[in-house]
Amino acid sequence: MSLTIDLTGKRAFVAGVADDGGFGFAIAKQLAEAGASVCVGTWPPALNIFETLLRRGKIDASLQLARGGKLELERVIPLDAEYDTLSAAPAEVRENRRYKERGDFSIEGAARLLAADFGEPCLDIVVHSLANGPEVKRPLLDTSREGYLSAMSASAYSFVSLVSHLGPLVRPGGSFLCLSYLAAQRVVPGYGGGMSSAKAALESDTRVLAYEAGRRWGHRVNAISAGPYASRAASAIGLIARMIEHYEKNGPIPKRLEADEVGRAAAFLCSPLASAVTGTVLHVDHGYHAMAVPAELHEQASGG
C-alpha cells in the first residue's frame, strides 16, 4: 500500500461548515486535497450568508488547493443536527423564514437528499464538526437543565444520530469522525454550560459507536481532540485568546495550532492508511494534553 493519502473516488459529508474559518472547513479542504469529493451540511440560519460568500467569490482564496484548482463543494445541504426528523422540530422553527425555505433540514432530511442525489450507498467519510452550548459562559453549577440538555443534544447526541442515519449510506470500510476537546477529560474553567459533559459523552460514544458501527457495517469511528483555535464559533467561549496563548507557551511544541494541522490528521484517520484505527481519540494539540504542570513554572524556576 502506498503511504500517500489517496481519497480519489471517495465522497465525504462534513457536517458543520458555515464559513472558511473553522476546523470543519479545514477538514473538508484537506479531504479534497487528498482527492475526495466533498458535501457539507450547514446550519440553516447561516446558510444564506455562506452561499453568498461562495457565489460572490469572497472565500475563493481559502478554497484554493495546494495541488491546483479549488475546492468545489458537491452539495451544500441545510442541516440542523438538533433534529433527527423534520417533525421533531417545533413549529416556530419550521415556520421561521430561515428554515422554511430550506425544506427538510433534519438529519433524516440530509440522508434523504444525499441518497436521492447520489444513490445508495454513496458516502465513504462522515465528519461531525458540530457543537453548541447556549449557556457555555455559565459555570456548570449555574447551568440550567434546559441549557445542559441542549448542549448534550447539539454536541453529542447529534453524532449518534448522524452515525445511525448515515451509516447505511456509507460504503463498507467507511469512516466517521467527530471533534472533541480536552475539557472532556480535564477541567477547563470557563468552558461551561454542560459543554465539558457533552465532550465527555462524545468521546464515550465514539468508543461504543466504533464497536456497534464496526459490527453492523464495518465502519470505523474516531475522534480528534483538538487544541484551541480562534474560529468564529470558539470565540463565543470568551477566553479563547488566552487559552491559545496558554497552549502555545506550555505545550511540548510551543507553537499555535493551525486548522490545517487538524485537517491533515482527519484526512489520515479517514484514509485507508488508518484502516485498523477505530474507537480512538487522537489529540492534535502539539502535545499539550501530556503536560501535568505548566512549562512556564519550570522555566521560571530554572531561570529559562
CATH number of the domain that residue 292 is part of = 3.40.50.720
Q: Which domain, by its residues, includes 140?
A: 11-302
The answer to whether residue 4 is domain-embedded is no
Q: Are 38 and 69 in contact (CB under 8 A)?
A: no
pLDDT tens by residue, 159-200: 999 999 999 999 999 999 999 999 999 999 989 999 999 999
SS3 per-residue string spanning the chain: CCCCCCCCCCEEEEECCCCCCCHHHHHHHHHHHCCCEEEEEECHHHHHHHHHHHHCCCCHHHHECCCCCECCCCEEEECCCCCCCHHHCCHHHHCCHHHHCCCCCCHHHHHHHHHHHHCCCCEEEEEECCCCCCCCCCCHHHCCHHHHHHHHHHHHHHHHHHHHHHHHHEEEEEEEEEEECHHHCCCCCCCCCCHHHHHHHHHHHHHHHHHHHHHHHCCEEEEEEECCCCCCCHHHHCCHHHHHHHHHHHCCCCCCCCHHHHHHHHHHHCCHHHCCCCCCEEEECCCHHHCCCCHHHHHHHHCC
- 1 in any annotated domain: no
Q: Per-residue pLDDT for 300 more than 90?
A: no
- Residue 3 maps to a domain: no
Q: How many domains does the chain have?
A: 1
pLDDT, average across residues 11-35: 97
pLDDT tens, residue by residue, 53-82: 999 999 999 999 998 999 999 999 999 999
Residue 128: inside a domain, yes or no? Answer: yes
Specify if 5 maps to a domain. no
Q: Is residue 2 part of a domain?
A: no
Residues whose CB falls within 8 Å of the CB of residue 219, separated by 6 or more in sequence, listed in order: 163, 167, 170, 172, 173, 174, 175, 176, 213
Q: Which residues contact 59 (CB under 8 A, 6 or more apart)?
A: 19, 20, 53
148 is catalytic: no
Instruction: Select from 186, 252, 194 the least CA-distant residue to 225.
Output: 186
Kindly report the average pLDDT of the chain as a whole number: 93
Task: Answer whether residue 191 is part of any domain.
Answer: yes
The reply to whether 114 falls in a domain is yes
pLDDT tens by residue, 105-131:
999 999 999 999 999 999 999 999 999
Active site residue 211: no
Of 148, 181, 247, 288, which one is the catalytic site residue? 181
Point out the catalytic residue in the list 83, 99, 157, 191. Answer: 191
If pLDDT is split at 50, 70 and 90, which confidence band does 96 have? very high
Q: CA 250, 254, 260, 264 torsion: positive or negative?
A: negative
User: Is the per-residue pLDDT at 222 higher than 70?
Assistant: yes
Q: What angle do helix axes 195-217 and 158-166 make, rounded to 10 degrees?
A: 20
